[in-house]
């Protein structure tokens, strides 16, 4: 016997009143049929939550004047951010909820935290100019993340369009960590920091391509020497984390504009 329209509408109304912990997400099975899943995946979202906490902890330390700790925590957030997506893919627990939660966490860890860190350390001395520069960075991170979400599956995953927000955060956090570790006050280099922060925010919303490293085969076999190279990289980073990490992220941030200029010259010579 067919269900009456009144009963089906009541059932729909009942599902619309599910409590907040009864998250329902629609998807498709292997045969293309629409299925509905209740709840969220725990494991990848634990890493995302840890990423969010790292960003929050960085903000708290920046407000308290613990700039080195705040900067180092942003790099911890990068490690956590790189793990949640990989864990989701390895365990086949990807979800639309996880993707949105990851973006919101990234906004805190790589948008708000670096901007506030730079403002508390150096930009505050520039008053309204410093406030504007910090907001440029925050807005750039928000626009970058929003654009990235709309481009998933539409652009070549080998490239990022615009500087990724974790890389931009690495430039800002690395700068603060390096110079504060030397005992240099941010007020002595406010204009330099302002230029750097504004440049990082602008690069995030630019159309410059950056290599994403997503085409690297992490599951296949590699020569034994590759492990030695990885060990060497870790040794170099841990020998002087602030300076080495700053150089790495500065080089990556500069690689995009340099490659963009080289491609432009090649086109002119071909014409």
Coil/strand/helix, residue 38: strand
- pTM flag (> 0.85): no
pLDDT tens per residue across span 139-155? 999 999 998 888 776 67
* Contact predicate 179/189, CB 8 Å: yes
CA dist 63 and 57 (Å) reads 10
Per-residue burial over 106-124, b if 16 or more Cβ lie within 10 Å, else e, is bbbbbbbbbbbbbbbbbbe
Q: What does the alpha-carbon distance between residue 209 and residue 256 come to, in Å, rounded to a whole number?
A: 6
- pLDDT at res. 23: 53
State the pLDDT at residue 14: 46
- Position of tokens 């016997």? 1
pLDDT-derived band at 6, boundaries 50, 70, 90:
low
Structural domains of the chain sorted by starting position, each given as residue range(s) with its CATH number in brackets: 5-36 (no CATH), 42-270 (1.20.120.1760)
Among 53-62, 85-94, 212-221, the minimum mean pLDDT is found in 212-221
What confidence tier does 244 reach under pLDDT thresholds 50, 70, 90? very high
What's the start-to-end Cα distance of the chain, in Å? Answer: 73
For residues 94 and 98, which has the higher predicted lDDT (pLDDT)?
98
Whole-number average pLDDT of the chain = 83
Nearest one of 82, 77, 79 to 111, comparing CA atoms: 77
The kind and range of the H/E element at 189 are none
pLDDT of 11 reads 47
């Amino acid at each position: 016997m067919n269900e009456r329209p009144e009963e089906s509408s009541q059932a729909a109304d009942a599902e619309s009143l599910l409590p907040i912990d009864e998250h329902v997400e629609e998807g498709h099975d292997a045969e293309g049929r629409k299925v509905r899943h209740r709840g969220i995946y725990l494991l990848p979202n634990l890493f995302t939550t840890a990423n969010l906490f790292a960003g929050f902890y960085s903000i708290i330390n920046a407000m308290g004047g613990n700039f080195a700790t705040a900067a180092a925590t942003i790099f911890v957030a990068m490690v956590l951010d790189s793990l949640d997506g990989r864990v989701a893919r390895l365990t086949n627990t990807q979800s639309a909820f996880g993707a949105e939660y990851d973006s919101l966490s990234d906004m805190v860890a790589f948008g708000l935290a670096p901007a506030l860190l730079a403002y508390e350390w150096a930009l505050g001395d520039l008053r309204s100019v410093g406030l504007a520069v910090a907001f440029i960075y925050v807005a750039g991170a928000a626009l970058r993340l929003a654009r990235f979400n709309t481009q998933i599956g539409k652009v070549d995953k080998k490239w990022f369009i615009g500087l990724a927000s974790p890389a931009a955060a690495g430039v800002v956090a690395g700068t603060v960590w390096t110079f504060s570790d030397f005992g240099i006050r941010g007020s002595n280099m406010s204009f330099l920091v302002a230029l750097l922060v504004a440049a990082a925010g602008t690069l995030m919303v630019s159309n410059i391509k950056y290599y994403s490293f997503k085409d690297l085969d992490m599951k296949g076999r590699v020569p034994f020497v590759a492990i030695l190279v990885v060990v060497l990289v870790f040794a170099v980073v841990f020998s002087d984390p602030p300076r080495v990490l700053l150089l790495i992220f500065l080089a990556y941030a500069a690689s995009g504009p340099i490659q963009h200029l080289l491609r432009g010259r090649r086109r002119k010579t071909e014409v």
